[in-house]
Structures are given as structure tokens and as C-alpha cells.
Amino acid sequence: MELSEQICEAADAVRGYWNQTARIGIVLGTGLSQLATQIEADCCVPCHQIPHLPSATALGHKGQWVCGKLGSVPVIALDGRFHRYEGYSLQQITLPIRIMRQLGVDTLILSNASGGVSPRLNSGDILVIDDHLNLMWDNPLIGPNEETLGPRFPDMSRPYNEGLITAALEIARQRGYAASRGVYAAFTGPNYETRAEYRMLRYLGADVIGMSTVPEVIVAAHAGMRVLALSVVTNVCQPDTLGTTSGSEVLEIARSTEPKVTDLVQELITSRLAAETCGNIP
Ligand code: HPA
């Protein structure tokens, strides 16, 4: 079955639960699902009810779609994303982005947990991603290209929307949250990195390293969507003084920073994006 047929079947299934249209889609990262509880939900659709989606197996990921309103703004939030390390292809893990696009979403807000490679970053900082390094040695767009979904050779000169980056940084500054912009690099995982790898990542120009987001952003760029991605630094990755890292520690720090990310995204959507018909975010 062609990808576009899978997308249509899956979108029809979601429409069976929720007949409204959302322009904003949200993907919640590790330990960052609290935002979903702020949504005045009309329905929660478990991933296994949506055809062609894999099942969510990752730590701290629920695997459901929450459809409803944040303030006055209709949104769809994916509470639990899919990762390459779960054994799924990049095409499978990015299917939710395609489905959201089919449902009318044109603005995507992503969150994730990451290791801080830049020496200026501390645990609990928020990095507003302004560019990325795809170090997964794979690409979700490999295979026949369906022109209805996007161009064969998509532009990637600015996959992260400048207006949204500026707005997010401005809100963080007003709130007194430690936030800056920078480059996110993605490995497949699931292991955390060696000291030599963290050193290499710094040389390559990465500010943070994680195991998600980049495939989703590539597909969003292919589909012509506007993207904002926020990364919570959960561990400091300085090769010369490196401690050990565990999934439960990453989850704990992500959860303790979560109220700031939730507040930031909520403010962005309910005050800035809600007023967008006035054209204040390019
Ligand atoms: N490396 C990769 N992914 C991560 C890390 C890390 O150090 N921390 C949180 N997610």
C-alpha cells in the first residue's frame, strides 16, 4: 500500500473520533507529557486504534493522541512518540507527522530530552532548536517520492521557523527561564554516548544530542510545515568530567523541567498563535 493511502486511512480513523480541524500539532517528548493534561480534551485516541501506526514502547511515552483545545485553540497532541531504537523504520516513526498534516496541521511543536554537549548548557536548561545534524545515517524520505506529499529534494536551509524561535525565546526571557538557541544532533541510540562521541559532537557543532526529532522535522519540512522544537537538557556531556547517565535520571530531570516547557508552549499557543490571524508570527 502506498504511503499516501496509509496516511488517508489513518487520518480517517482519527476523524472518526474527532471531527474538528486543528492547525497546531504537538509531539511530546520523554518526561514532557504534562502539556497534554492542560488540553481540554474532546477525546484521547490510543495509537493502536489508528491504522498503520506502530505501538509506543519507549520509557515515559503513553502512546495516545489527545484532541481538544488549549485555551481557544484546537490542537492535536501526540503523547508519546516513536523512536528508531524501538526497531521501527524512520518512515514508520514519522507517520504521525504525515497524518497530522493530512488532518490540517500546518504548525508543529516538538519537545524532547537531550544531553548538553555545549559547555554553556546546564541540566534543566531549555534549548530552542534552530538547526540540526542528522547523524542517524538514515532518512525518512528514502524510497519512491510521492509528489502529493512533498518534493523529491526538499530544501532544508531553515527547517525551524524563525518567528516561532524568537517568540519562544521571548516568552522564556519574560518568565526568567534559562533558554537559548542552538543545534540538535540526533543519533539512533539507544545507548548514551561515549566520551569520544561527545567530544566529536562538539567538534561537529552540536549543542545537544538526542535520539528523536530530526526525522520528524525532515518530514515536516518535506510536507511544508512550520516547526518549533524545544529540547530540555537532562544531562551535561562534558567528556573530561563525564559521569554516568541512565534513562531514569533523564526522565527525572525532564519531569522536573516540564512545568517550564508546558508553560512556555501554552503561552505561545494561547496568546501568540491564537492571535495569528493578525499575522504577527511570520
Ligand atoms: N544522549 C542522547 N540522548 C539523550 C541524552 C544523551 O546524552 N540525554 C537525553 N537524551
Give the pLDDT confidence of 90-116 residue by residue, as tens digits.
999 999 999 999 999 999 999 999 999
- pLDDT bin (cut points 50, 70, 90) of residue 61 is low
Report if pTM > 0.75. Answer: yes
Q: How many domains, the chain?
A: 1
Distance of CA 151 to the CA centre of its chain: 22
Choice from 30, 110, 114 to test ligand 1 binding pocket (greatest atom count within 8 A of CB):
114
Distance CA 118, CA 29 (A): 21
Within a domain: residue 282?
Answer: no
113 occurs within a structural domain: yes
C-alpha closest to that of 76 among 10, 132, 5, 4: 10
Residue 135 CA, ligand 1 centroid: distance in Å: 13
pLDDT range class, residue 280, cuts 50, 70, 90: very low
Question: 282 falls in which pLDDT band (50, 70, 90)?
Answer: low
**Ligand 1 geometric centre to CA of 187 (Å):** 9
The type of residue at 242 is L
Ligand 1 nearest atom to the CA of residue 112, by list position: 10
CA of 240 to the centre of ligand 1 (A): 17
Q: Which of 83, 118, 193 to mutate to test the pocket of ligand 1 (most atoms within 8 A of CB)?
A: 193
Domain that holds residue 67: 3-272
The mean per-residue pLDDT over the stretch 123-150 comes to 97
CA of 280 to the centre of ligand 1 (A): 35
Residue 227 has pLDDT above 90, yes or no: yes
From 83, 192, 249, 255, the mutation candidate for ligand 1 (largest count of ligand atoms within 8 A of CB) is 192
pLDDT at 58: 65
CA 162 vs CA 63, 145, 179, 277: distances in Å: 30, 28, 15, 18
CATH number assigned to the domain comprising residue 104:
3.40.50.1580
